[in-house]
Chain A
Amino acid sequence: MHRPRREPAARMSTRTSTARPTMQTAARHTAHPVAWWAWALLLATAAGRTANPWLLLLIVAVAGLVVTWCRGSEPWSGAYRVFLAIGLSAIAVRMAFYIVFGGSDGPTVLFTLPSVTLPEWAAGFRLGGNVTAEGALAALYDGLRLATLLVCVGAANALASPRRLLRSVPAALYEVSVAVVVALSVAPQLVASVGRVRRARALRGNTSRSPANLMRTIVSPVLHDALDRSLALAAAMASRGYGRATGIPAPARRATSASLLIGLLGLCAGAYALLGTTTPAPLAWTAVAVSAAVAVFGIAFASKRVPHTRYRPDRFGARDWAVVASGAAAVAGTVLSGIYEPSALWPATNPLAMPDLPMWAAGGILLATAPALLVPSARGGTP
């Protein structure tokens, strides 16, 4: 035994372990990642069911409040701000498109751009021409709606890392989830590798910006690096038992994959039909239900045969159900408003008018702040 030498090391590790005590305890108490994603996606669904700017801003505010209150201090916790920026750029892009290509128009002309007469086949589009307040407002509502959807996704990312979510996927999707986790860890490594190679390039005094030179001196070394690293990772994973002969017959594996794929595609189509207005609701709900059943069957069937086990899976408890329910309240609110005050959900922009605040929807969305009270703050409440 070589006891005496171990002392400095022990001292060092106690010092570093005190650095992040709050996060360690809090990581255990935050809600289930699936609950967070369900909550955020339900909020996004509510946003998808309205173009009322008050409601949309309210949703952004609710998401922001819950994120600041409940997020941890992990690397992905900054995702909300990133998505907020993406949302703002989505509004800007939508606006630019309206100004250049036009859309719904009204009588209040703000300014006129030089216009180009388009050929017959492109009727309905314009290039330049009158820019009206009504059209701009409609484009703004539209952009805001898109931005709100993005912000909801950002909130989900900030609250539960995609990796933690992947850990909760059913065993049948294990291989897929490992592939995604590896891809997720490669991305920051790639960024680090680009930084390193760029600094080394400066050491060579190379500041050329020609594409051929960049290709040779940055892209090629980074790809070299990435390739080396993925081979090393593949070897390490194999050494640790990844891809052991699993003993599942090939036809069974193919059948489960197919049912999973069909189920997921069906779910996407059903969700699209639900959010859109052209498909009758019963048909859309049936599509969702059937495809969900197919997907669940596939996953359940495959999970029984998977030889892997999980270390400390996250449990889905009463509080997680409450988080999901609070998200569902927002959707329920928009549904009720759709029945009792449909005009407020889709405010008219022509003629220009101040939109009303639909009470049912607003109430539902306010209920979605519940997680801020239910889930203890991960960082002592400071944003």
Chain B
Amino acid sequence: MTPGGIAFDRVTFAYAGTPVLDDVSFDLPEGEFCLLVGPTGAGKSTLLKAVNGLVPNFTGGTMSGRITVAGRDVRGSTPADLADLVGYVGQDPLAGFVTDEVERELAYTAEQLGVAPAAMRKRVTEIVDLLGLADVRDRDLAALSSGQRQRVAIGAALVAGPSALVLDEPTSALDPTAADEVLSTLHRLVHDLGVTVLLAEHRLERVAQYADSALLLNGGKVTAGPVGAILAASPIAPPVVELGRLAGWPGPPVTIREARRHATALRSTLTDLHTPTATAEAPVGPPLLEARAVTVDYPGGVRAVNGVDLVAARCERIALMGRNGSGKSSLLWALQGTGTRSGGTVTIGGDDPAARKPAERRTLAGLVPAEPADLLYAETVAAECAGADRDGRVPAGTCAKILDDLVDGVDETAHPRDLSEGQRLALALAVTLTAAPPLLLLDEPTRGLDYPGKAALATRLGRLAEAGHCVVVSTHDVEFCAEFASRVVVLSDGEVVADGPARQIVAASPMFAPQVEKVLPGWLTVAEVAAALGTGDADD
């Protein structure tokens, strides 16, 4: 066993009688960047938290086996005692910040450990330089961008000089640029500091290229191996691996560069087939939503949305893309009429939603907020549906039926907060659809969903659009956008910088292009390629 890294030896963990980890053994050598892969709810967070003692100290449950980090036995220690050994970074950095300034936050762990002030200043300065935070070291945490915040959280975990760093979906709330910023920093840290990194992430397309090895956690069992081999066997894999699997490329390739090397043959096969560009549908029907010169100002002179024009018809599937803080949410809320609108006009089917009472407004436009749980109050799913029927003054059972059409197997007696992310989103969507709004708005719906979850969501929303809804989704998930959207609107600093058919817009932008497009220009998803190859031969 290597003394430097993270080692699990026959670890079994059960929570309230339900086994989560079943006889898990693996051994990560020192300085390894390891990716933890698995479907939603497989227990990835549990495994990560076991490394620094949050499981079982904070969660309860029964654990057996042995976990060592840098040769030190972790079992039986509290997370506080392990603070000098393991750094832990969660999904939402704001939720874990203790202080309100960057430097104080970075110094917090060192203060707890009683590091001498001179050494602490040196350490904080080093971390600030390593993570590229020099510009913002005096700033309030609240004034930072989300990518900077996540880098502060990583820096704060590193100040104590831990041997291992554990990260639970550190980029799930970040836009592609910010995520890249965080991950490349992390990659450099592994080289510079020799920290062992164990990272769980749903958006594998972002992370896979940085990892040295991978762990697959499925059904409580762990398989360890090289990234390509693990992803090939995993039910959850990024599009480039799916493409490799489909085309039978050896490896399969994990990065775009590797895939491009293999792609020549497939490209020529595909050019003989009809290109999907021809199938791009033109918008139909008269406009449903007409927004002109919409402006949203917040107190303090912040202009979140600046003169946006947006016209959309029924059956359109629009993805609203842009960096964090580009005004996507503010625009959605302003379109729905509940949020602030400082200027401009919005009409939905000729009516201004902001002039209507909330109960009538929701029959014009429904919005599923970024936190779907905010829409849910009741103790059980059944009560929630009944409440939605009452709110919408529709016959009893309407909401339950919509939910049934959206997703199978939701336990009627479960508490909405106990549902999986995908089920909770479906319930919030069903509650919104009970009012039958022609315009449906969703704010960042893909957070916490794995690839099958996102594919299911794209299919559901596609069906709703076919049924005559106009669906607008704000997202920075390029892979979801490729599967879902017929039209893409890109926002930057509150203004529309691009608007057009999805295929054109994403192909023109290196930031928003999906992986398949990068390997096979002109094609967006693996499903498209598979459908095209289904008629041709796929044996190259």
List A residues at the B interface (Cβ < 8 Å).
Answer: 1-2, 5-6, 8-10, 12-14, 16-17, 20, 24, 27, 74-75, 163, 167, 178, 181-182, 185, 196-197, 199-200, 202-207, 216-217, 220-221, 224, 229, 231-245, 307-313
The answer to whether B181 touches A196, judged by C-beta atoms less than 8 angstroms apart, is no
The answer to whether A240 touches B83, judged by C-beta atoms less than 8 angstroms apart, is yes
Minimum CB distance partner of B361 in chain A: A205
The answer to whether A238 touches B110, judged by C-beta atoms less than 8 angstroms apart, is no
CB of A26, distance to nearest CB on chain B (Å): 10
Minimum CB distance partner of A161 in chain B: B100
CB of A173, distance to nearest CB on chain B (Å): 14
- Whether B42 is near chain A, meaning CB under 8 Å from some CB there, is no
Find chain B residues with CB under 8 A from A235 CB: 54, 58, 79, 90, 96
Pick the contact of B109 from A2, A75, A224, A240 — CB < 8 Å? A240
The answer to whether A203 touches B369, judged by C-beta atoms less than 8 angstroms apart, is yes
The answer to whether A233 touches B96, judged by C-beta atoms less than 8 angstroms apart, is yes
The answer to whether B374 touches A240, judged by C-beta atoms less than 8 angstroms apart, is no
Find chain A residues with CB under 8 A from B388 CB: 204
A242 to B54, CA, bound (A): 13
A181 to B104, CA, bound (A): 12
Q: Which of B112-120, B241-249, B405-413, B482-490 contacts A (4 or more CB under 8 A)?
A: B112-120
Q: 5 new A-B pairs (CB below 8 Å) besides A181-B98, A240-B156, A311-B110?
A: A13-B145, A163-B100, A238-B57, A240-B109, A242-B112
Pick the contact of B371 from A16, A196, A204 — CB < 8 Å? A196
Find chain A residues with CB under 8 A from B359 CB: 205, 207
Find chain B residues with CB under 8 A from A244 CB: 80-81, 83, 112-113
The answer to whether A12 touches B157, judged by C-beta atoms less than 8 angstroms apart, is no
The answer to whether A309 touches B138, judged by C-beta atoms less than 8 angstroms apart, is no
Pick the 9 closest A-B CB pairs, nearest first: A236-B96, A241-B83, A241-B112, A311-B107, A200-B374, A205-B359, A17-B135, A239-B88, A238-B79
Find chain A residues with CB under 8 A from B367 CB: 203
A307 to B114, CA, bound (A): 5
What are 14 A-B contacts with C-beta separation under 8 Å?
A: A6-B181, A9-B132, A13-B136, A13-B148, A24-B139, A181-B99, A196-B374, A197-B374, A202-B338, A205-B360, A220-B377, A233-B98, A236-B96, A311-B121
Pick the contact of B336 from A12, A203, A221 — CB < 8 Å? A203
The answer to whether B95 touches A232, judged by C-beta atoms less than 8 angstroms apart, is yes
The answer to whether B117 touches A311, judged by C-beta atoms less than 8 angstroms apart, is yes
Which secondary structure characterizes the binding site on chain B?
helix
Minimum CB distance partner of B84 in chain A: A241
- Whether B344 is near chain A, meaning CB under 8 Å from some CB there, is no
Pick the contact of A239 from B54, B95, B97, B115 — CB < 8 Å? B54
The answer to whether A233 touches B432, judged by C-beta atoms less than 8 angstroms apart, is no
CB of B177, distance to nearest CB on chain A (Å): 6
With contact pairs A240-B157, A241-B109 given, residues A24 and B117 touching in the complex (Cβ less than 8 Å): no
Q: Chain B, 235-277, contact with A by CB distance < 8 Å: what is the 0/1 string?
A: 0000000000000000000000000000000000000000000
What's the A-B contact tally at a CB cutoff of 8 Å? 196
CB of A158, distance to nearest CB on chain B (Å): 16
**Among B80, B97, B177, B359, residue most surrounded by chain A Cβ atoms (within 10 Å):** B80
CB of A274, distance to nearest CB on chain B (Å): 35
- Whether B533 is near chain A, meaning CB under 8 Å from some CB there, is no
Pick the contact of B338 from A12, A182, A199, A231 — CB < 8 Å? A199
The answer to whether A182 touches B98, judged by C-beta atoms less than 8 angstroms apart, is yes
- Whether B495 is near chain A, meaning CB under 8 Å from some CB there, is no
- Whether B345 is near chain A, meaning CB under 8 Å from some CB there, is no
Find chain B residues with CB under 8 A from A238 CB: 54, 57-58, 78-80
CB of A360, distance to nearest CB on chain B (Å): 43
The answer to whether B107 touches A178, judged by C-beta atoms less than 8 angstroms apart, is no
- Whether B303 is near chain A, meaning CB under 8 Å from some CB there, is no
Find chain A residues with CB under 8 A from B375 CB: 200, 203-204
List CB contacts (< 8 Å) of B92-149 with chain A.
92, 95-100, 103-104, 107-117, 120-121, 124, 132, 135-136, 138-140, 142-143, 145, 147-148
With contact pairs A203-B432, A224-B417, A243-B80 given, residues A229 and B95 touching in the complex (Cβ less than 8 Å): yes
- Whether B180 is near chain A, meaning CB under 8 Å from some CB there, is yes
Pick the contact of A221 from B78, B132, B374 — CB < 8 Å? B374
The answer to whether A308 touches B52, judged by C-beta atoms less than 8 angstroms apart, is no
Minimum CB distance partner of B368 in chain A: A203
A239 to B338, CA, bound (A): 39
With contact pairs A203-B338, A242-B80, A312-B103 given, residues A16 and B98 touching in the complex (Cβ less than 8 Å): no
- Whether B404 is near chain A, meaning CB under 8 Å from some CB there, is no
Find chain A residues with CB under 8 A from B322 CB: none
Find chain B residues with CB under 8 A from A205 CB: 357-362, 391-392, 435
Find chain B residues with CB under 8 A from A13 CB: 132, 135-136, 145, 148
Find chain B residues with CB under 8 A from A207 CB: 357-359
**Among A2, A217, A309, A313, residue most surrounded by chain B Cβ atoms (within 10 Å):** A309
The answer to whether B187 touches A2, judged by C-beta atoms less than 8 angstroms apart, is yes
The answer to whether A17 touches B121, judged by C-beta atoms less than 8 angstroms apart, is no
A284 to B139, CA, bound (A): 45
- Whether B333 is near chain A, meaning CB under 8 Å from some CB there, is yes
Pick the contact of A308 from B114, B336, B338, B432 — CB < 8 Å? B114
With contact pairs A203-B369, A311-B103 given, residues A232 and B96 touching in the complex (Cβ less than 8 Å): yes
A199 to B369, CA, bound (A): 9
Find chain B residues with CB under 8 A from A245 CB: 80-81
Find chain B residues with CB under 8 A from A200 CB: 369, 371, 374-375
- Whether B401 is near chain A, meaning CB under 8 Å from some CB there, is no
- Whether B188 is near chain A, meaning CB under 8 Å from some CB there, is yes
Minimum CB distance partner of B49 in chain A: A235
List CB contacts (< 8 Å) of B64-102 with chain A.
78-84, 86-88, 90, 92, 95-100
A241 to B369, CA, bound (A): 35
The answer to whether B180 touches A5, judged by C-beta atoms less than 8 angstroms apart, is yes
- Whether B468 is near chain A, meaning CB under 8 Å from some CB there, is no
The answer to whether A308 touches B111, judged by C-beta atoms less than 8 angstroms apart, is yes
CB of B94, distance to nearest CB on chain A (Å): 9
A229 to B374, CA, bound (A): 14
- Whether B431 is near chain A, meaning CB under 8 Å from some CB there, is yes
A267 to B281, CA, bound (A): 78
Find chain B residues with CB under 8 A from A9 CB: 132, 147, 177-178, 180-181
Minimum CB distance partner of B86 in chain A: A239
The answer to whether A309 touches B115, judged by C-beta atoms less than 8 angstroms apart, is yes
Find chain A residues with CB under 8 A from B110 CB: 309, 311
With contact pairs A12-B145, A185-B100 given, residues A240 and B177 touching in the complex (Cβ less than 8 Å): no
Minimum CB distance partner of A197 in chain B: B374
A229 to B96, CA, bound (A): 9
A197 to B375, CA, bound (A): 8
Minimum CB distance partner of A244 in chain B: B80
The answer to whether A232 touches B98, judged by C-beta atoms less than 8 angstroms apart, is no
The answer to whether A236 touches B95, judged by C-beta atoms less than 8 angstroms apart, is yes
CB of A9, distance to nearest CB on chain B (Å): 5
Q: Chain B, 353-395, contact with A by CB distance < 8 Å: what is the 0/1 string?
A: 0000111111000110101011101000000000010011000
With contact pairs A238-B78, A241-B160, A244-B80 given, residues A204 and B431 touching in the complex (Cβ less than 8 Å): yes
The answer to whether B188 touches A206, judged by C-beta atoms less than 8 angstroms apart, is no
List CB contacts (< 8 Å) of B175-231 with chain A.
177-178, 180-181, 184, 187-188
A172 to B148, CA, bound (A): 33
With contact pairs A181-B99, A235-B54, A240-B156 given, residues A203 and B120 touching in the complex (Cβ less than 8 Å): no
